[in-house]
Amino acid sequence: MRFADIPSHDNVKSRLVNMVDSNRLPHALLIHGRPGVGKMMLARALAQYIHCTERSDGDSCGKCPNCIQHQTFNHIDTHFSFPVLKRGGTTISDDWISEWREFLTESPYMDFKDWLVKLDNPNGQPRMYVEESSEIMRKLNFTSHGNRQIVLMWLPERMGEETANKMLKLIEEPVGDSVFILVSNDPEAILPTIYSRTQRVEVVRFPDSVIEKYLVDHHGLSAPMAHAVAHLADGSILNASRSVGNAEQRDHYLNLFQQLMRLAYQKKVSELRSWSNEVASLGRESSVSFLEYCERQLRENFIYHLSAPELIYQTPDEAQFTTKFYRFINERNIEEFVERFDAAITDILANGNAKIILFELAVRVIMLIRK
């Protein structure tokens, strides 16, 4: 992985390169940020840059033997550490190294759900066990093959306390000039004693324009669709890719939203009861996801009054409905609409009866839509 392979993040790239070039690379570096912004890609590019023998223009060459080994995840002085499940009584990363290499290739933006699939347990809770720290210590105590030894650790927040305490000793008393590069989605969950001994580099969200290009290039979306999906992705390529994969679900949600508003306007109470039962049958999480979708559509319809199309982020089908529906969402009802949907979400998450909650919400919509 070269820095040139990663979109955007020029400031972070420059900072990492300067650490190496000025010989000020810390023994423990924490690269953190939300999922889907390329943190592990940056960590891999940094490791390759450290080992590259032909660096130029602030990047690794991609051609020397060290770079080639990095690109195949086989560099002998680079050690990966990541959360796993127990397999055959052992609990170290190397037990899953084949799956890990596939994961890095197929999901470079590190979709945790994809990793659970690789672990063959979508509902699993992988972690770093205490044996992991012992295994890392064993590897680092081997003689280096002419390079700095690097530990690339993904999700250190998944270390148990005993594991973290043993890892702390390695960070406090590094073997030779070894380097720990930690990549975290949730730095606040890392053991404070480890967190305090790292130098932190935050990776912020991708610009929408970067995500738009990614969606066009990798998913074949049209420019208008990519524009809409990118805005909703909140700076995360993972969110954007999931949204593309959930196109069928999004279409279903739009249909249910349209049904709700049309039936409420027509005051068809009995049909609204059937609608409530249908939404409730989706299950708690999907019902909440749908209500959040409705809130987003309500806000977009309200914004439509501003006659500022650059502020509207919808798919073509959503936008078509909005052109006819927006006049029913105005300054007299938008706040209460959002309050009512928020209350329904809270009640469903609290294990309330979804059929009753959704039907009460639908009846409220009858009154609100005519304000």
Q: What is the pLDDT of residue 60?
A: 97
Distance in angstroms (rounded) separating the CA atoms of residues 58 and 16: 10
Average pLDDT score over residue span 111-125? 90
User: In this structure, is residue 305 part of a structural domain?
Assistant: yes
Cα-Cα-Cα-Cα dihedral sign, residues 50, 55, 61, 66: negative
Domain end residue (candidates: 170, 187, 204): 204
Residue 13 has pLDDT above 90, yes or no: yes
Q: What is the pLDDT of residue 81?
A: 96
Residues 10 and 110 in one domain: yes
Residues 252 and 197 in one domain: no
Residues 199 and 259 in one domain: no
User: Is residue 122 very low, low, confident or very high in pLDDT (cuts 50, 70, 90)?
Assistant: confident
Give the strand pairing for 150-154 and 179-184.
Answer: parallel
Residues 302 and 194 in one domain: no
Across the beta sheet with 179-184, the strand order is 78-81, 150-154, 179-184, 28-32, 199-202
DSSP secondary structure string, 132-152? HHHHHHHHHTSPPSSS--EEE
Q: What is the pLDDT of residue 91?
A: 86
The percent of residues in the chain predicted with pLDDT above 70, rounded, is: 98
Residue 3 has pLDDT above 90, yes or no: yes
Mean pLDDT of the chain: 92
Q: What count of other Cβ atoms lies within 10 Å of the Cβ of residue 345?
A: 20
Identify which of 166, 175, 173, 105 has the alpha carbon closest to the alpha carbon of residue 141. Answer: 175
Residues 250 and 192 in one domain: no
User: In this structure, is residue 165 part of a structural domain?
Assistant: yes
Q: What is the pLDDT of residue 309?
A: 64
Residues across the chain: 371
The distance from CA 5 to its chain's CA centroid, rounded to whole angstroms, is: 19
The distance from CA 156 to its chain's CA centroid, rounded to whole angstroms, is: 16
Phi, psi of 28 (to 5 degrees): -135, 115
User: Is residue 246 very low, low, confident or very high in pLDDT (cuts 50, 70, 90)?
Assistant: confident
CATH code for position 259: 1.20.272
Residues 190 and 56 in one domain: yes
Q: pLDDT (tens digit, 9 = 90+) per residue, 172-230?
A: 888 888 999 999 999 999 999 899 999 999 999 999 999 999 999 998 988 888 888 88
Cα-Cα-Cα-Cα dihedral sign, residues 40, 42, 48, 51: negative
Q: What is the pLDDT of residue 280?
A: 96
Average pLDDT score over residue span 150-173? 91
User: In this structure, is residue 222 part of a structural domain?
Assistant: no
Residues 263 and 143 in one domain: no
Distance in angstroms (rounded) separating the CA atoms of residues 240 and 224: 14
User: In this structure, is residue 209 part of a structural domain?
Assistant: no
Q: What is the pLDDT of residue 311?
A: 65
User: In this structure, is residue 226 part of a structural domain?
Assistant: no
333, two tokens: 């009802």
Q: What is the pLDDT of residue 105?
A: 95
Residue 146 has pLDDT above 90, yes or no: no
Residues 155 and 10 in one domain: yes
Distance in angstroms (rounded) separating the CA atoms of residues 356 and 276: 8
User: In this structure, is residue 356 part of a structural domain?
Assistant: yes
End-to-end CA distance of the chain: 56
Domain count, the chain: 2
User: Is residue 143 very low, low, confident or very high in pLDDT (cuts 50, 70, 90)?
Assistant: low
Residues facing residue 182 across a β-bridge: 30, 153
The single-letter code of the amino acid at 209 is: S
Q: What is the pLDDT of residue 77?
A: 94
Residues 60 and 134 in one domain: yes
Distance in angstroms (rounded) separating the CA atoms of residues 143 and 25: 21
Average pLDDT score over residue span 234-246? 87
Residue 90 has pLDDT above 80, yes or no: no
Q: What is the pLDDT of residue 310?
A: 61
Average pLDDT score over residue span 244-267? 91
- The model carries a pTM of 0.77
Q: Which domain holds residue 15?
A: 3-204
Residues 21 and 109 in one domain: yes
Residue 242 has pLDDT above 80, yes or no: yes
Q: What is the pLDDT of residue 250?
A: 84
Per-residue b or e along 224-242, where b marks 16 or more CB atoms closer than 10 Å to that residue's CB: ebbbbbbbbbebbbbbbbe
User: In this structure, is residue 225 part of a structural domain?
Assistant: no
Average pLDDT score over residue span 284-292? 92
- Residue with tokens 């890609």, as numbered in its chain: 41
Q: What is the pLDDT of residue 106?
A: 94
The percent of residues in the chain predicted with pLDDT above 90, rounded, is: 73
CATH code for position 169: 3.40.50.300
Identify which of 370, 282, 345, 285 has the alpha carbon closest to the alpha carbon of residue 361. Answer: 345
Residues 191 and 251 in one domain: no
Q: What is the pLDDT of residue 221?
A: 86
User: In this structure, is residue 122 part of a structural domain?
Assistant: yes
Q: Give the range among 71-85, 270-284, 316-330 with minimum mean pLDDT.
A: 316-330
The single-letter code of the amino acid at 29 is: L
DSSP-assigned letter for residue 59: B
Residues 93 and 200 in one domain: yes
Q: What is the pLDDT of residue 144?
A: 66
Q: What count of other Cβ atoms lies within 10 Å of the Cβ of residue 205?
A: 18
User: Is residue 248 very low, low, confident or very high in pLDDT (cuts 50, 70, 90)?
Assistant: confident
Q: At a CB cut-off of 8 Å and minimum separation 6, what does 311 contact? A: 303
Identify which of 142, 42, 128 has the alpha carbon closest to the alpha carbon of residue 85. Answer: 128
